[in-house]
Structure 1
Amino acid sequence: MERRSFLKKAGAGLAVGAVAMPAIAQSAPTVKWRLASSFPKSLDTIYGGAETFAKRVAEATGGKFQIQVFAGGEIVPGLQVLDATKDGTVECCHTASYYFVGKDPTFAFDCALPFGLTNRQLDAWYRHGNGLKLMREFFATYNVHNLPCGNTGVQMGGWYRKEIKTVKDMEGLKMRIGGFAGQVISKLGAVPQQIAGGDIYPALEKGTIDAAEWVGPYDDQKLGFNKVAKFYYYPGWWEGGPQLSVLVNKKAWDALPKEYQAILEIAAADAHVEMMAEYDAKNPTALKQLIAGGAQLRPFPKDVMDACYKAAQELYAETSAKNATFKKVYDDMKKFQADQVLWGRIAEGTYHNFMASVR
């Protein structure tokens, strides 16, 4: 008798749930947004971050919230997506914020700073330090709400037509390099060029530039850089953990129900982890294939690394003296980084070195 009573009550509960769920779905507003990516579709991992984000939002809302993703150049050029978002041409974009250091160098903290934080360190600073709070305050001045949405991990140092043996070899080198790093290498006599991902290969092929960095083996192989430059350097000291972000027009963000805002945050966080995992899975195979195909793998000489580090510190001191917002964020990040480097060296760094030694 008790069992029949329980089943009857459970059945009634299920019936209520079956009615309630559609009612909730029906009450949710239908929203359609456009997202402008800075990247070409051919770069399935980094462009795919925006697709993963949009897919998760649609799934979580039963298709009520649709975000259509457009590749770089389909609505606006890849390096103009911030302005398009800020001005309301599109509701959001997916980009590397350091593309916009020409507007304000503070943008670099949302992506990568030369000799800055790694992926995990940046996540820690954003989530358990002051990183997200400080950057949300900064982005608000550009009418934008930022959502971390992807990371590539430590990148490679790029492709070069000639070997880099000394600091002198940097003089006059025309190099495609993103973000703040261009200002660092210019102190060593190099000539930085900011070129969107899809335009790098032809510039390198034609000799318009002498070297180019992008991301790492998987993407670099797709873009074919090994066909036009054979020396492949590491590490990308300017890309310790470059973060990608979804930037949302502030008015569009504020107009969303709180539930939709939460879904966007969660979808971006999932895409964030997915991108890093995919790069970690695919880069090793691509690197082996590139080397088998003739790529000459080279570490940057220590004197080059030292000179670049010194130039970066000079640049940060100069920039901090001129830009109070940059100084505020930089001082906070630098303090956080000191403990992160210590911890990483003791635990994970030692572990990685040992595992490499016993292969």
Structure 2
Amino acid sequence: MKPTRTHFLGSAAAIGALAFMASASAADALDRVRWQVPMSFASTLTALGDTMPWVADQLRAATDGAIDLRVAEPGTVIPALSIFENVSEGNIDAGYSWMGYEWGTVPAAALFGATPFGLESIEFLAWMTHHGGQELLEETFHPYNVHPILCGTISPETAGWFRSEMNNVEDLRGLRFRAAGVGGEIFQEFGMSVTLLPGGELYQALETGTLDGTEFSLPTVDEQLGFYQVADYLYLPGWHQPSTNQFLYVNLDVWNGLSEQTQAVFNMACMAGNAYAIARAEALQGAIITSFEERGTNVRTYSEEQIAAFREAANTVLGRWSEQDEMFGKVYSSMMDYQAELRPWKEQGYLPRDWQTRIGE
């Protein structure tokens, strides 16, 4: 029997109803999530502080408001550098921060946040997803009742802003310098006095001479904080932080209470956040470096001798921590094994970074 138009319409209606039912069923499987998410960085800081707000927006849109994360600016709910402790203790459900501020309690955390002479952003993402990084992350943090999700990896930091020129590593001795994570301990190997201050305090510290230099973040962020106005010299490359990795810290009990579907939505949103963050970071830095030079900043590249000295000091500090802390050694060994495995592809699969200079373009 030839199907009638009514039959076709009826079939289409049935298919539409089934699709609606499937969609409704998927939506029903999502938990209703209402979290306040304190951040360590202001949402105004490009690629550093604006990734989590972007992820929150995507989650609201994709779930029709079922997952509603309200980001909170640094210091408005809890101190800016205390995300880990407050999530661990259950004072907050979740928070967003660079991983490493807690490395006094969790030494291996510093490696996940940034490993000197270690993995760059895309390499770090590859290690996390395909070479055991996620499993090691959970092994590191679950004992503290924290489930971190990588949710924003960005390009290298600048190596430091200084009030005077650094012609050799001897010039570093005695300087008062702001640094975070294991990089700060490496700087101490050169006789520097290292302290940790939040980003909002650094301009005044440089202006008044409380600090002789600082590292903090991407050129775009450094520009927003005005470092070029109070420090004449900018040094590259960011050997101490080849990638900057930020995480959504979730209380483990809260995470385990979510349905598998809700957990999957969070994981997808944060993977999208990683793509957003690295794309946004890479899109903007070249123009900012040029603008620094146009405004009179002396942009310097560390010499091979200086970088070799930094590498030697990094090997000393990272080796020492690997011996002192079993989990630190386990994570660092895994990273370095992957870095060695990747080397043939990295060195031969890509054009050298200075290929245009080499061939005269």
Same fold (TM over 0.5): yes
CA drift of 1:24 comes to 5.0
TM-score (norm: length of structure 2): 0.94
**How do 1:1-359 residues align onto structure 2 when only pairs under 5 Å count?**
1-2=2-3, 4=5, 5-18=7-20, 21-22=23-24, 24-25=26-27, 28-350=30-352, 352-357=353-358, 358-359=360-361
The structure with more helix, counted as a fraction of residues? 1
Equivalent residue letter for 1:354? W
Q: Distance in 2 between matches of 1:110 and 1:331?
A: 13
Q: Distance in 2 between matches of 1:230 and 1:123?
A: 34
CA drift of 1:278 comes to 0.5
Q: Distance in 1 between matches of 2:22 and 2:174?
A: 68
Percent of residue pairs identical:
28
SS of 1:180's equivalent? Answer: helix
User: Is the 8 Å Cα contact of residues 170 and 188 (structure 1) preserved in structure 2?
Assistant: yes
SS of 2:13's equivalent? Answer: helix
Tell me the C-alpha RMSD between the 2 structures.
1.7
User: Is the 8 Å Cα contact of residues 29 and 261 (structure 2) preserved in structure 1?
Assistant: no
SS of 1:285's equivalent? Answer: helix
User: Is the 8 Å Cα contact of residues 31 and 262 (structure 2) preserved in structure 1?
Assistant: no
Equivalent residue letter for 1:261? Q
- When the two structures are aligned, how many residues end up with a matched partner? 358
CA drift of 1:22 comes to 4.2
User: Is the 8 Å Cα contact of residues 234 and 299 (structure 2) preserved in structure 1?
Assistant: yes
Change in 2 beyond 3 A, CA 1:227/1:249: same
CA drift of 1:28 comes to 4.1
Q: Distance in 2 between matches of 1:90 and 1:118?
A: 31
SS of 2:76's equivalent? Answer: coil
SS of 1:226's equivalent? Answer: helix
Equivalent residue letter for 2:201? D
**CA deviation vs aligned residue, 1:88-112 (integer Å, no higher than 9, x gap):** 1211111111122222320012111
Unaligned runs of 5+ in 2: none
CA drift of 1:3 comes to 6.2
Change in 2 beyond 3 A, CA 1:127/1:189: same
User: Is the 8 Å Cα contact of residues 146 and 248 (structure 1) preserved in structure 2?
Assistant: yes
Unaligned runs of 5+ in 1: none
User: Is the 8 Å Cα contact of residues 47 and 71 (structure 1) preserved in structure 2?
Assistant: no
